[in-house]
């Protein structure tokens, strides 16, 4: 391939990061609030209490505002695969495109079909059919997430495929292996359960604002009662699925795990960092301590990564420079094998052109031997496989701290609800009010861990980000970055104004 324009790579990265992070402001609210609307309406249908109907309509209105913006940004994100990442799309489109197509055909149409009934069918359909439609929107929203997260899980752990040297494409071999990959399953369950927490906190924050203002008190109490139960169950599930996700990282993405634990030197019976401040001057192999301050849980990382007390957990140094005792190959050796694979692939293509079957077969045999390391052939230095440690470490630990604290918050809210004392506990209302913003930031940081943690790879160990971009001038991508930045800013301001106006009006205007 030709010379890589790092300017194009960096602007393409920046544009996609902007789009994904903006899109993810809305997705977790959609996933969580859709189920809460279904719960609220289920209570209305069961009890016949009109207060629950009014409450459901109010939260459904906020759900609709959020849903519309989320869909718009999601469409933009998918277009960017073709505009900025055409090399990526060419090489993996056969696999990556399949779950996205299923998402569009099945889940999106499931949502769209029942979305109109959910919003406009209150007086036009029976109670039970309307409730059924609300549940279908909730299930459809989360089915959309399933297929998108299956695609992302494959990027983290590419399985169920084979590389075709004739077309230079990765091709699907077993879709079930792709769907039920342990990484894909862990990613879907962790992302959705954490989104349920975000949706619960969205309801709790707004309801606490009403309580602090002395407005819509009964509606706020009812809303919090259901959201606290849902949030508590989801919070516990998030902790469990997060642990399973970390276990999957330990098996297939050990560099990501080493980064988010700040583990530079591998260890037998490795400790888990509970609280720590990284040494900002630490460089790989410089002999400095990685932490300026740390408190650890003995052997905790070995349990999390390998489910064994004294298991060896490789550090960044082991993964870059190798560890013969643990059977870890140095990256430099992988790079040699990768460059040989690329050379043999070029020889295979050249022999195919001139019809030299003997050389073609010989080149293919050599290529097949080194093909698992092909991605490493694009790297310039072994140290390139190390992601930004501080970014990944602090993002991960913020996410863990918030996930732990939100369970305690839900317990406090549930206890006060059962005792009917929430209205009098102003301190708890003030404590719970900012929960949505804190939890949403943790959800964003979860994606930082997932995506920054696997750098430099677009497809783990197979395809670096820098060779995935479209061959266009950096200036073109930079121009569209600022266009999207302005567009997203306008959309965000509009969405916030509409949302805040509706919250100010309250359930009367639902």
Residue 296 within a domain: no
Structural domain including 145 reads 28-258+382-509
Give CA–CA dist 155/149, Å, rounded: 10
Within 10 A of 313 (CB to CB), how many other CB atoms are there? 27
* Residue 451 resides in a domain: yes
DSSP H helical ranges for 291-330: 300-306, 316-321
pLDDT score, position 77: 78
Residues 316-358: tens digit of each pLDDT? 999 999 999 999 999 999 999 999 999 999 999 999 888 888 8
Between the CA of residue 468 and those of 21, 84, 113, 156, 327, what are the distances in Å? 20, 9, 36, 15, 30
Distance separating alpha carbons of residues 33 and 228, to the nearest angstrom: 13
Best CA proximity match to 284, nearest among 147, 140, 381, 145: 381
% of the chain residues with pLDDT over 70: 98
Tell me what pLDDT residue 509 has: 54
pLDDT at 115 exceeding the cut of 80: yes
Gap between the terminal Cα atoms of the chain:
57
* CB neighbourhood size of 278 (10 A): 18
User: Rounded distance, CA 507 to CA 216, Å?
Assistant: 8
Burial of residue 497 (CB within 10 Å: 0-12, 13-18, 19+) is: exposed
Are the CB atoms for 33 and 61 separated by under 8 Å?
no
> Which has the minimum average pLDDT: 67-71, 268-272, 282-286?
67-71
Q: Report d(CA 157, CA 151) in Å as an integer.
A: 10
pLDDT for residue 101: 80
Alpha helices in 157-180 (DSSP H): 175-179
Is 336 contained in some domain? no
Residue 463 φ then ψ, to 5°? -145, 115
Give the model's pLDDT for residue 3.
63
What angle do helix axes 27-47 and 127-156 make, rounded to 10 degrees? Answer: 150
Instruction: State the pLDDT at residue 385.
Output: 95
List of residues 6+ apart from 459 with CB closer than 8 A: 88, 92, 154, 155, 158, 170, 375
| Structure confidence at residue 330 (pLDDT) | 96
Distances, alpha carbon 377 to alpha carbons 155, 165, 362, 402, 435, in Å: 18, 16, 20, 40, 46
Domain-embedded: residue 355: no
Range 129-134 average pLDDT: 94
State both tokens at 478.
Answer: 């930079």
Which of these ranges, 94-103, 121-130, 303-312, 490-499, has the smallest mean pLDDT?
94-103
Residue with tokens 């991605």: 375
In a 3-state reduction of DSSP, which class is residue 320? helix
Is residue 109 very low, low, confident or very high in pLDDT (cuts 50, 70, 90)? Answer: confident
In this structure, is residue 408 part of a structural domain?
yes
Q: Which of 69-78, 192-201, 363-372 has the highest mean pLDDT?
A: 192-201
Q: Cα separation of 465 and 242, whole Å?
A: 26
Distance CA 391, CA 490 (A): 28
Is residue 102 in a domain? yes
pLDDT-derived band of residue 31, with 50, 70 and 90 as boundaries? very high
Contacts of 398 (CB under 8 A, 6+ apart): 441, 442, 445
344, part of any domain? no
Whether 443 maps to a domain, the answer reads yes
Q: What pLDDT, on a 0 to 100 scale, did the predictor assign at position 280?
A: 87
Number of domains in the chain: 1
Average pLDDT for 267-285: 91
Distance of CA 10 to the CA centre of its chain: 21
Mean pLDDT of the chain: 91
DSSP character at residue 390: H
- Partners of residue 459 on adjacent β-strands: 463
425-459 pLDDT per residue, tens: 999 999 999 999 999 999 999 999 999 999 999 99
Region 231-250: mean pLDDT is 95
Instruction: Please state, for a pLDDT cut of 90, what percent of the chain lies above it.
Output: 68
pLDDT reading at 37 higher than 70: yes
The b-or-e profile of 96-125 (16+ CB within 10 A means b, else e) is bebbbebbeeebbebbeebbebbbeeeeee
Cα 437 to Cα 171, 173, 499: the distances in Å are 41, 42, 15
Question: In the 8-state DSSP scheme, what is residue 323?
Answer: B
172-176, 234-238, 399-403: the lowest-pLDDT one: 172-176
Q: What is the rounded CA–CA span in Å between residue 15 and residue 194?
A: 25
């Amino acid at each position: 391939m030709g010379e890589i324009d790092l300017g194009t790579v960096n602007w393409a990265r920046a544009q996609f990061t902007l789009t994904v992070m903006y899109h993810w402001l809305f997705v977790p609210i959609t996933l969580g609030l859709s189920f809460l609307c279904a719960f609220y309406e289920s209570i209305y249908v069961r009890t016949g209490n009109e207060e629950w109907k009014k409450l459901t309509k109010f939260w459904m209105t906020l759900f609709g505002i959020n849903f519309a913006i989320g869909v718009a940004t999601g469409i933009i994100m998918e277009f960017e695969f073709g505009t900025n990442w055409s090399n990526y799309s060419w090489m993996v489109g056969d696999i990556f495109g399949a779950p996205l197509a299923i998402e569009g055909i099945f889940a999106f149409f499931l949502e769209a079909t029942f979305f109109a009934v959910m919003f406009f069918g209150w007086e036009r359909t029976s109670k039970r059919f309307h409730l059924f439609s609300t549940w279908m929107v909730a299930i459809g929203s989360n089915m959309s997430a399933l297929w998108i997260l299956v695609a992302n899980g494959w990027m983290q752990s590419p399985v169920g495929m084979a590389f075709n040297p004739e077309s230079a494409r990765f091709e699907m071999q077993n879709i079930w292996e792709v769907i039920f990959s342990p990484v894909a399953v862990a990613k879907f369950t962790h992302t959705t359960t954490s989104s349920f927490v975000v949706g619960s906190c969205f309801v709790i924050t707004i309801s606490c604002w009403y309580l602090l203002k002395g407005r819509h008190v009964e509606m706020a109490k009812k809303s919090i009662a259901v959201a606290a139960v849902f949030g508590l169950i989801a919070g516990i599930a998030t902790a469990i699925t997060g642990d399973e996700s970390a276990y999957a990282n330990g098996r297939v993405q050990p560099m990501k795990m080493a980064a988010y634990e700040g583990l530079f030197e591998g260890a037998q019976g490795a400790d888990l960092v509970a609280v720590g401040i990284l040494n900002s001057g630490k460089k790989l192999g410089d002999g400095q301590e990685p932490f300026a301050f740390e408190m650890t849980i003995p052997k905790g990382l070995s349990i999390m990564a390998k489910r064994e007390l004294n298991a060896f957990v490789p550090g960044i140094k082991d993964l870059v420079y190798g560890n013969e005792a643990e059977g870890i190959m140095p990256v430099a050796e992988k790079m040699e094998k990768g460059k040989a694979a690329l050379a043999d692939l070029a020889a295979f293509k050249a022999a195919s052109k001139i019809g030299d079957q003997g050389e073609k077969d010989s080149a293919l045999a050599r290529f097949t031997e080194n093909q698992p390391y092909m991605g490493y052939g694009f790297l310039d230095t072994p140290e390139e496989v190390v992601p930004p440690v501080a970014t990944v470490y602090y993002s991960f630990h913020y996410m863990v701290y918030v996930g732990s604290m939100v369970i305690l918050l839900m317990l406090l809210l549930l206890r006060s609800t059962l005792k009917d004392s929430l209205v009098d506990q102003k301190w708890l209302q003030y404590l719970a009010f900012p929960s949505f913003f804190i939890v949403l930031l943790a959800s964003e940081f979860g994606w930082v861990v997932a995506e920054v943690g696997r750098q430099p790879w677009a497809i783990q160990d197979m395809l670096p980000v820098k060779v995935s971009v479209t061959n266009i001038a950096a200036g073109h991508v930079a121009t569209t970055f600022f266009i999207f930045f302005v567009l997203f800013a306008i959309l965000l301001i509009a969405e916030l104004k509409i949302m805040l106006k509706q919250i100010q009006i309250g359930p009367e205007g639902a």
